[in-house]
Structure 1
Amino acid sequence: MVYARFRVRFPESLWIGRLSREYPSAVVTALSAMGIDDSVVTLVEVVDAPPAEVLELARSDPTVTTFDPVAQSDGRLLFSYRTRSTLYRAAERSGVPPLYPVEVRDGWADIESHASREGVSKLVAELEAENATVEVTAISEGPAGDALLTERQREVLTEAYERGYYDSPRRCSTAELAEELGVAPSTISDLLRRAERRALGALVSDGAS
């Protein structure tokens, strides 16, 4: 069993990919997905994209059969939608479901999985057969190890650490980090929260083993 991480470039036919390319600084996160009959229902969180534009793009896509907003706050939209997703079915055929949440930025999704090496190869082949571009960015035996964080999470976490965000007293604010990296403060907060959760989760797991 290996841990693998991929970068998957969504094809133009997938509306989530078009959304994230239209708003490249937005963080689009698929929190969960479930196949129902010939469709897939996905729960998604979008940070830093206009909710009205997200709604319009979804409802103008012929593959999206339902779109249901769940919650909305400043710069953040949570919704579920139902569609005929060939990428989801490709993962099903490979027998290697992705580990959620799946983060999408600028048309690229960071996908993680635990599977045999044969399963990983089959997943890549199935995704590529659906016109997705796949890059294997990390693979290791057993748990995530050094591949724990996405490239973007590692970049933001490193910047925060080096600029004194975690010092006491704190030498750098979220707003200053956001200005340095050219994104919204809410995006920085979201990225740091996810990176911290992954890092702490791995630490707790290692301590319990």
Structure 2
Amino acid sequence: MARARLTVTTPDGSWAGRVTRSHPDAHIRVRTASIGEPATLVAEVTAPSLAPVIAAISEADGVRSLDILDRHGDTAVCRLTVADAGPLAAAAAAGAPPEYPFTVADGTIEWELTATRSALADLADELSERGLEFTVAEMRPGDDGEPLLTPRQRTVVRTAVDSGYYEVPRGCSLATVAEQADLSKSTCSEILRRAEKRLLTRYLNGGQP
């Protein structure tokens, strides 16, 4: 396992990016998140002038609902339903979720996470593919004995092998593997592609990482 600290820049279209850039003295501290379509977040919103920030979040494109659960001083605890989880969706797809809570301020997100090197590499790929800029502030390498595939990759590859997907001729289609793994066809294809890349790279390197 490796521990990393990342700074992710929110895109211009992100509601959190727009609000915190327009209100640079505001901070959004995300306590928990349920990733889906839509996604649900519980977050503390803190600002010297709280009402305009809450209004800006509520009216932002992509925010479907905002409920204030508690309020004390210049902080409100809110439950948000948003159309797109953005960077969090990338982290979920890579199997490298950040630790909670984390903070969004002035258009940037500060993340700390612990994951396998392969999951961190997948996270970098996911962020890049979604056009999200990020910098790695700190990385503590793990040992070389960690599993080559993430648990999710191993499960999907095992499903594909057991279903005959790699037989010649194929014993089943990609759609069948996806259905058995309870995934969309595109997600299943992406997971298999990344797993195959890792396995082939390790093989071609003579078993070395």
Answer yes or no: same fold by TM over 0.5.
yes
Amino acid of the residue matched to residue 67 of structure 1? L
In the alignment, what sits opposite 1:79? Answer: 78
* Deviation string, structure 1 residues 71-118 (Cα, Å, up to 9, x no partner): 112211110101122322211111111111111221111111111112
| Contact 1:71–1:79 (CA under 8 A) maintained in structure 2 | yes
Distance 2:94 2:86 in 1: 12
Amino acid of the residue matched to residue 65 of structure 2? T
In the alignment, what sits opposite 1:47? Answer: 46
| Contact 1:23–1:49 (CA under 8 A) maintained in structure 2 | no
Distance 1:33 1:108 in 2: 17
1:63 maps onto 2:65 in alignment: no
Amino acid of the residue matched to residue 122 of structure 2? K
Distance 1:65 1:51 in 2: 20
Distance 2:105 2:58 in 1: 21
Q: How does 1:1-209 map to 2 (within 5 A)?
A: 1-36=1-36, 38-84=37-83, 85-141=85-141
Amino acid of the residue matched to residue 17 of structure 1? G
| Contact 1:40–1:88 (CA under 8 A) maintained in structure 2 | no
Identity of aligned residues (%): 26
| Contact 2:26–2:53 (CA under 8 A) maintained in structure 1 | no
Distance 1:5 1:39 in 2: 27
SS across alignment from 2:114: strand
Q: Which runs of no fewer than 5 residues in structure 2 stay unpaired? A: 143-209
Distance 1:61 1:131 in 2: 21
* Deviation string, structure 1 residues 44-76 (Cα, Å, up to 9, x no partner): 112225332123222322311111011112211
| Contact 1:96–1:119 (CA under 8 A) maintained in structure 2 | yes
Amino acid of the residue matched to residue 87 of structure 1? P
SS across alignment from 2:35: strand
SS across alignment from 1:100: coil
Amino acid of the residue matched to residue 24 of structure 1? P
Distance 1:124 1:82 in 2: 26
SS across alignment from 2:97: coil
| Contact 2:2–2:117 (CA under 8 A) maintained in structure 1 | yes
Amino acid of the residue matched to residue 126 of structure 1? E
| Contact 1:98–1:112 (CA under 8 A) maintained in structure 2 | yes
CA RMSD of aligned residues (A): 1.6
Deviation of residue 34 (structure 1)? 0.8
Q: Which runs of no fewer than 5 residues in structure 1 stay unpaired? A: 143-209
SS across alignment from 2:131: coil
Distance 1:23 1:59 in 2: 14
